[in-house]
Amino acid sequence: MSFGKGCHLHLIDGSAFIFRAFHALPPLTRKSDGLPIGAVAGFCNMIFKMVEDNKGPDAPTHVAVVFDKGSHTFRNDMYDQYKANRDEMPEELRPQMPLTREATRAFNIACVEKEGFEADDIIATLSVQAREAGGRVTIISSDKDLMQLVGGGVEMFDAMKNKRIDSDGVREKFGVGPERVVDVQALAGDSVDNVPGAPGIGIKTAALLINEYGDLESLLDRAEEIKQPKRRQTLIDHRAQIELSKRLVQLDDAMLLDFTLADLEVKEPEAEALLTFLNEMEFRTLTKRVADNLGVEAPAIADTNPAGANPNEAADAPVNLPFVPEDYECVRDADALKTWIAKAHACGWVAVDTETTSLNEMRAELVGISLSVEPGQACYIPLGHKDGVDDLFGSAAHADGQMPMDDALALLKPLLEDPAVIKIGQNMKYDAKIFARNGVSVAPIDDTMLMSYALNAGLHGHGMDTLSERYLEHTPIPIKSLLGTGKSAITFDRVPVDDAVKYAAEDADITLRLWKLFKPQLHQKRVTTVYETLERPLVPVLAKMEMTGIKVDRDTLSRMSNAFAQKMAGLEAEIHELAGQSFNVGSPKQLGEILFDKMELPGGKKGKTGAYATGADVLEDLASEGHNLPARVLDWRQLSKLKSTYTDALQDHINPDTGRVHTSYIQSGANTGRLASTDPNLQNIPVRSEEGRRIREAFVADEGKVILSLDYSQIELRILAHVAGIESLKQAFREGQDIHALTASEMFDVPLDQMTPDIRRQAKAINFGVIYGISGFGLARNLRIPRKEAQGFIDRYFERFPGIKEYMDDTVAFAKEHGYVQTLFGRKINTPEIGAKGPQAGFAKRAAINAPIQGTAADVIRRAMIRMPEAIEGLPAKMLLQVHDELLFEVDADGVDKTIDAVREIMENASMPAVKLDVPLTVDAGQGANWAEAH
DNA sequence: CCTGTCACG
DNA sequence: GACGTACGTGACAGGG
């Protein structure tokens, strides 16, 4: 049937359907193979509903589902920033895209897309064709970009709100008729699509202007006439940008299409084709409903994996199944291994755990691998176990009954790298690094430790033992029972294979059970996005940084150690002299007795253990009263710290194979979302004292390279200004002012040009105090001023910045109501102590105030790090370290400038597009032969 | 193994 | 009115 008068065309915005279905539904997977299928399921349900709902007298005669195709369109040629702030398509959604096309065809509905065009353009073209042919059109979408098409028989239908949108509806939304919608959009811009528009002008103002001047062109030509000076200047200054915006929002309604409206005629679905498709997708309910509707028998769902369990069906998650170590299998040959690999392929997931000779990931040797695909069933593949007693050289014979490691890895590699099979681990970064060192790059992954962290940060730890006891009510076999402790501890390769099977397979079993438990909880607790955008993608980034390591010059450290030792010996002699006796300067107990019992100095206070307090603050007070001994002890302590923790200890961390130091980041260590660094901790290398800072000279660039450091300037204060909505602070950051000086000026009524360093210093302390949940006591101690005075400062601060007080009170109230606080990116930090009575209450409050600020800053740099590999791809640069607000790189000397540009771009825009901050984030860069020069 | 101390953001 | 307080970490040494 050709299309003409009396015909009614339905155009369905397919891409919008898909995204809505994807985000509205939990991450369903196909039971037989684990293929993610949630968006397809939602899409099919929506299509089916559309078909059912439109069978009345107003039924469409023609229908098409229209999709976007390709990420690059003609609009990107006009403006390279178009839609540039869109996030990557989620990993789980990608494989579902072609299936939605198949689904459309299965419903016997025309499926329309064209490379280089957006669905909106096709919808525009078809709408115009239909209107010219004298027919009616209903566009099923709520996308405001399509509102320009309404009128002359074209209407929209918002399937979410079940609401038709006609010209009046458009006028309601845009304040102008459909024919002027593009003019309003051109002025207002669109942050979702990154259309710039005119800065400072939103829909309201835009409509006002267009209504006054008739259309955009007249408005721009007569811009001089606008009364408001700011508005006038904006329009004059940004004319080109506004005109570009109009071209971006204007839909192409004259595309060349290789089909006609007649081809879109409504057809009855063919029962067999449709049911076959739905059956293949394993949509039980929908298959049945469609079959009923078509009046045919529903085909039986082919269950290719009757034993497999869908993690999304709670009843199928047998977390309470008993643990039976005897059921675990020891895999000793290729055939047995192939059976397990086939099982993993069949269900689409596999829990993996590695056993090694050491906890040092860069030195650990692989000893065995365990796998599990189903609760209660797991295997262990021994590969590097030794047998018998050591010979003279401390080595023993390779144990029998193990398949060659290379053979096992060759068989496992395709599975571990298969994009269709999710590899599940508890702290997968560890296993991924072990595999990487054996030539296998494990992907895609899930990590139960990180799931627990996203779900329950602040409630408990996230180690396997904790999680198993808490959620599975099962205490895993302690590793100590196999390895022993202390000097007599053995390495895992010396554990008898039979014992290893029970221990190692159990770990994989536990991991799988936890995964089945946590996966649906991520959605229920609304932390899927946190897990998928801030946790999971960071794993390979950290793994790579850790494996790269940073070059540390042993001679520099060694020379410093010697110098420190000499100075310490001198100080020690002096201290003993002053004390009139010899004692252990490093013992707080002995020192306390010398100071307060023997010398009878004032201020001796005993703590809960009965020992005198001898902290730096105590010693400083004594020193300021002219006592020499405590002053010398302070000097000695500083050197002792530098020597033992840094110049001595760091040397032991230099990897003999790489000559570099490889820290390990703990992703779930800090409740706020910050990383922690261990073995060694490279996030607390000295910088505040001149003597300490020199330790950074030992962190060097390789020959021909440069160390590059980029750090966020005042990121936490900027975030505070944003979340508390303090206009004066936001303005100051926008204008690049000295924020501490400004605070001081506001508080103490001192003009900026008369600011003294001391007043500024006090304001700075207050600014930091605010971030920490300020208290009079804390500020007093920090500034060494009377407590009353400190409280006076705070009162005045809150007077001048009432928004800050409001933010703090609101945050505490939120924590009390919900039991958690949140970062701007949705990370939840639980605050179980917030309702406590007594001294903990104060702690909990301040922690609750601090967590969203510290946590948001942590999220920002995480986002930057996740985007970094792509941003510096092709540049001769490697990311080495993260220190909370700083990233360290090692770059070829001739690539420095380009790297700074690329990294700064990513860091400064890291919050986008998820969060648009009201303040700019700025990044300072430094470079040099070593970390001291670069910082 | 716990406590005190001190290094960082 | 007294009490005890800045937020988040990790490493080391001493001492039981």
Which nt sits closest to A716, CA to C1'? B9
Q: Report the alpha-carbon distance of residue A396 to residue A385 in Å, rounded.
A: 10
The CA distances from residue A396 to A330, A358, A369, A399, in Å, are 22, 17, 21, 9
Instruction: Kindly determine whether the C-beta of residue A312 is less than 7 Å away from any atom of nucleic acid strand B.
Output: no
**Collapsing DSSP states into helix, strand and coil, what is residue A134?**
coil
**Collapsing DSSP states into helix, strand and coil, what is residue A12?**
strand
Paired strand residues for A12:
A65, A140
Listed in sequence order, the DSSP H helices in A133-238 are: 167-174, 181-188, 203-213, 216-221, 229-237
Q: Decide: A665 and A542 in contact? Cβ < 8 Å.
A: yes
Residue A786 CB partners (closer than 8 Å, separation 6+): A780
Q: Decide: A861 and A884 in contact? Cβ < 8 Å.
A: yes
Residue nearest to nucleotide C11 (CA to C1'): A645
DSSP state of A784: T
Q: Give the phi and the psi of residue A168 in degrees, each rounded to 5.
A: -65, -40
A52: left (phi over 0), alpha (psi -120 to 50) or beta: alpha
Which nt sits closest to A684, CA to C1'? B8
Query: Residue A92 has what pLDDT?
Result: 81
Instruction: Kindly determine whether the C-beta of residue A655 is less than 7 Å away from any atom of nucleic acid strand B.
Output: no
Instruction: Kindly determine whether the C-beta of residue A609 is less than 7 Å away from any atom of nucleic acid strand B.
Output: yes
Q: Decide: A740 and A747 in contact? Cβ < 8 Å.
A: no
Show the tokens assigned to A408: 């096992």
Q: Report the alpha-carbon distance of residue A421 to residue A199 in Å, rounded.
A: 47
Which nt sits closest to A886, CA to C1'? B9
Which nt sits closest to A644, CA to C1'? C12
Compute the residue count for chain A. 935
Instruction: Kindly determine whether the C-beta of residue A611 is less than 7 Å away from any atom of nucleic acid strand B.
Output: yes
CA A893 to C1' B7 (Å) is 31
**Collapsing DSSP states into helix, strand and coil, what is residue A786?**
coil
Which nt sits closest to A485, CA to C1'? B1
Instruction: Kindly determine whether the C-beta of residue A627 is less than 7 Å away from any atom of nucleic acid strand B.
Output: no
CA A765 to C1' C14 (Å) is 34
Query: Residue A502 has what pLDDT?
Result: 96
Q: Which 569-608 residues of chain A approach strand B with CB closer than 7 Å?
A: 588, 607-608
Query: Residue A316 has what pLDDT?
Result: 42
CA A455 to C1' C16 (Å) is 39
Q: pTM to 2 decimals?
A: 0.71
Residue A684 CB partners (closer than 8 Å, separation 6+): A677
Nucleotides of C under 7 A from a protein CB: 3-16
Mean pLDDT for back-to-back runs of 10 residues, chain A (935 residues): 90 91 82 84 91 86 92 86 79 86 93 90 95 94 92 89 87 91 92 85 89 92 87 90 92 92 92 90 89 83 45 46 94 97 94 94 94 96 88 80 97 95 95 96 96 94 92 91 82 94 97 95 90 95 95 94 93 92 89 89 79 87 89 92 92 92 93 93 92 94 96 95 94 94 93 93 92 89 90 93 93 93 95 83 90 95 96 96 96 97 96 93 96 93
Q: Report the alpha-carbon distance of residue A79 to residue A469 in Å, rounded.
A: 55
CA A137 to C1' B2 (Å) is 76
CA A686 to C1' C13 (Å) is 19
CA A565 to C1' C11 (Å) is 19
> From the CB of residue A297, how many other CB atoms can be counted at a distance below 10 Å?
10
Q: Which domains does chain A have, with CATH numbers?
A: 8-264 (3.40.50.1010), 314-386+398-543 (3.30.420.10), 551-661 (1.20.1060.10)
Instruction: Kindly determine whether the C-beta of residue A884 is less than 7 Å away from any atom of nucleic acid strand B.
Output: yes
Which nt sits closest to A650, CA to C1'? C11
Q: How far is CA A113 from the centre of its chain?
A: 33
Nucleotides of B under 7 A from a protein CB: 3-9
Query: Residue A305 has what pLDDT?
Result: 42
Residue nearest to nucleotide B9 (CA to C1'): A884
Q: Which 826-865 residues of chain A approach strand B with CB closer than 7 Å?
A: 854
Query: Residue A506 has what pLDDT?
Result: 97
CA A782 to C1' B7 (Å) is 17
Query: Residue A301 has what pLDDT?
Result: 63
Q: Decide: A467 and A454 in contact? Cβ < 8 Å.
A: no
Query: Residue A611 has what pLDDT?
Result: 82
Query: Residue A419 has what pLDDT?
Result: 87
CA A308 to C1' C11 (Å) is 46
Instruction: Kindly determine whether the C-beta of residue A689 is less than 7 Å away from any atom of nucleic acid strand B.
Output: yes
Paired strand residues for A879:
A889
